[in-house]
Structure 1
Amino acid sequence: MDQIRMRVKERRELTPSIAEFTLEPIDEVTLPEFAPGAHITIETPSGAMRRYSLVNDGAAPKEYVVAIKREPQSRGGSASMHDEANVGAELNIEVPENDFPLTDVQKYLLIAGGIGITPIYSMAKYLDKKGKLLRIIYVSRSAEESAYLDELNASFKSRMIVHHDNGDPNAVYDFWDDLVTPRATHVFCCGPKPLMDEIKAVSGHWPEGRIHFEDFKPVDVVRDDDTAFEVELKKSGTNVKVPEDRSILEALRDAGFATSSSCESGTCGTCKTRLLDGEADHRDLVLMEEEKDDFVMICVSRAKSGRLVLDL
């Protein structure tokens, strides 16, 4: 069972930009269990495949719960979930995977930034039930934009630091005091890239294996200096323009061509496509060097110049 057809059972607005979706299976199937830190990949109403962390208890689940932020620069995934995934909507999902598993130690420091609270909240509930020692640092722009803040305060207030910077770069939380002294504690961090870069910078002196990160965007799919280009689909003889702010895969989808994809972040290999001509700007984390002349991951990679000819 690689895909499951699900229905939106409940929808709850957590903040002005974050909605929680409770998904239940349409057919009578046993949902796979999952551990804290796991995610599911959802085929959003726009057709984009997006990964979202699971928030609920993964032991014998009857439903899957995710919280999704409408991203300001959404290329279709989160925006379509907010606009179209109302109660009763049907969605395909892929079974849970876990690239952010908890280790089994006695002490934990859980760090969340913004929507990165979703796997951290799941971890905190699980560790608390197991009687583990934990602290939480939750940073965000404002209380209004902090998902699950009331629930976290109710359960972890004495073990949690909450910091709002109100969008002021001079008012961001200083993690140095928390990480200056390496400890037996294991640190789990999820949030925007600047937060994770900061944690990496101030924890470089910690022993290897004690700092853990979750990052659904290991590569920049679209960059500020990207330009438009064309791809030729050899089998159909069609030319498709890829705008500067869209991936090849998204441009093909926009043009009505069915595409196979999963992660859409250059890490899984599902969209591997034979490259017949042209020089690709490879941005994936999958292809071996010896494959790069003959294949391209169309979810993240682009043309270095001119056009690409694909075996599609």
Structure 2
Amino acid sequence: MQSQNSADLHADTPMPLRVDRAYDVALGLRSFELMLPDGAALPEFTPGAHIKVQTPNGLLRKYSLCNAPEERHRYVITVKREELSRGGSASMHDDLKVGDTLPTSLPDNAFPLVDNAKAYLFIAGGIGITPLLSMIRSFGDLAPAPWKLIYLSRFANTTAFLDELGQPGWKKNVKIHHSEGQPDQEFDLWPALEKPNTAHVYCCGPRPLMEAVRDMTGHWSPKNIHFESFDEGGKTLPDDKAFQVRLARSGQSFEVPVGMSILGAMRAHGCNTASSCESGTCGTCRTGLLEGEADHRDMVLMPEEMDRHIMVCVSRAKSAELVLDL
């Protein structure tokens, strides 16, 4: 990868960082340590934060910071090689080397850690361990509240950070389950979620895991349940169709094609609205829905809100047109 000067940087990734280290933490998982070229202190971040990077092949990708927030000299991200993706993760694995420059955004946090919780229950699936690990690391030697981690993966050799999670100070709080080769295969989360309490639940991982946790926590207070996803814009489904969006206040109307989110179409037509996670988990892009039937694909809205609101970063339309309160 060629070093890039400031004129070449994407508007979303204005901060050029140097790759100081690159190393595998499990099969198909590689960590990168990023620093400012002059070694100066990096902008602060909070547990659960992420950065966007411009991959060597030019794509923008979002990765959680998995190191402790008090470490101001480096950002650490861990990238899973996704063979079926558009090539961003493969480019990070194959083309990004120590000494290269990686265009990077300032840290943002759509998955903040509640700092006055009575207890924490962390549920990770695969690479979803990364933001949760930063949260646990932020506790230091004396956690502010009791915590437990349930870490689910398929194979032991594709499970990152096993040595650290098995250290004496953490081991008693960590349950790791590999579905492949286990007699019961799938881990039963219901005993941990059956009785609602004052704990805050943080879940990050594949969509089926998050949907299962959402379904099992329907009787919990919504304020205590938190999700993070990196499926930006939502996945394209086989029956997706193009539809029209009309903005009631501005009068503007445009088509949302297959493979593009409402938010992406709005940006393409010069319409900006607040957003953060862009994966339907934080609620920042909540928008009033005035007319039409939405195809809700977020993890935020309650059933009683779905007739009047939509998350424009991931949701689509069942009707031919949606009218938004914008």
SS at 2:106's partner residue? Answer: strand
2:211 counterpart of 1:216? no
Query: 1:30 Cα shift?
Result: 3.5
Cα distance in 2 for partners of 1:301, 1:195 equals 19
Q: Is the 8 A contact 1:221 1:301 kept in 2?
A: no
Q: Is the 8 A contact 2:47 2:69 kept in 1?
A: yes
State the 4+ residue runs in structure 1 displaced beyond 4 angstroms: 167-170, 225-228, 283-290, 299-302
Q: 1:197-216, aligned counterparts within 5 Å?
A: 197-216=211-230
Aligned to 2:96: 85
Query: 1:129 Cα shift?
Result: 3.7
SS at 1:19's partner residue? Answer: strand
> Share of identical aligned residues, percent?
41
Aligned to 1:106: 118
Q: Name the CA shift for 1:27/1:195 in 2 (closer, same or farther; >3 Å).
A: same
Unaligned runs of 5+ in 2: 1-11, 243-257, 271-278, 291-312, 317-326
Q: Deviations over 1:228-284 (max 9, x none)?
A: 9xxxxxxxxxxxxxxx9xx57xxxxxxxxxxxxxxxx776x6981129xxxxxxx99
Cα distance in 1 for partners of 2:315, 2:222 equals 31
SS at 1:100's partner residue? Answer: coil
Q: Name the CA shift for 1:65/1:170 in 2 (closer, same or farther; >3 Å).
A: same
Unaligned runs of 5+ in 1: 229-243, 249-264, 276-282, 291-298, 303-312
Query: 1:208 Cα shift?
Result: 2.2
Query: 1:70 Cα shift?
Result: 0.6
Alignment RMSD (CA, Å): 3.3
SS at 2:172's partner residue? Answer: helix
Q: Name the CA shift for 1:70/1:60 in 2 (closer, same or farther; >3 Å).
A: closer
Q: Name the CA shift for 1:130/1:83 in 2 (closer, same or farther; >3 Å).
A: same
Q: Is the 8 A contact 2:67 2:75 kept in 1?
A: yes
Aligned to 2:160: 147
SS at 2:31's partner residue? Answer: strand
Q: 1:55-70, aligned counterparts within 5 Å?
A: 55-59=66-70, 61-70=72-81
Q: Is the 8 A contact 1:32 1:60 kept in 2?
A: no
Paired positions, count: 256
Cα distance in 1 for partners of 2:314, 2:198 equals 38
Cα distance in 1 for partners of 2:109, 2:239 equals 33
- 1:136 alignment partner AA: L
Aligned to 2:191: 177
Q: 1:1-312, aligned counterparts within 5 Å?
A: 3-27=14-38, 29-59=40-70, 61-103=72-114, 104-131=116-143, 132-154=145-167, 155-166=169-180, 171-217=185-231, 219-225=233-239, 272-274=267-269
Aligned to 2:246: none
Query: 1:32 Cα shift?
Result: 0.7
Q: TM-score, normalised by structure 1?
A: 0.72
Cα distance in 2 for partners of 1:77, 1:169 equals 36
- 1:134 alignment partner AA: W
SS at 1:81's partner residue? Answer: helix
Q: Is the 8 A contact 2:18 2:34 kept in 1?
A: yes
- 2:180 alignment partner AA: N
Cα distance in 1 for partners of 2:81, 2:262 equals 22
Q: Name the CA shift for 1:201/1:151 in 2 (closer, same or farther; >3 Å).
A: same
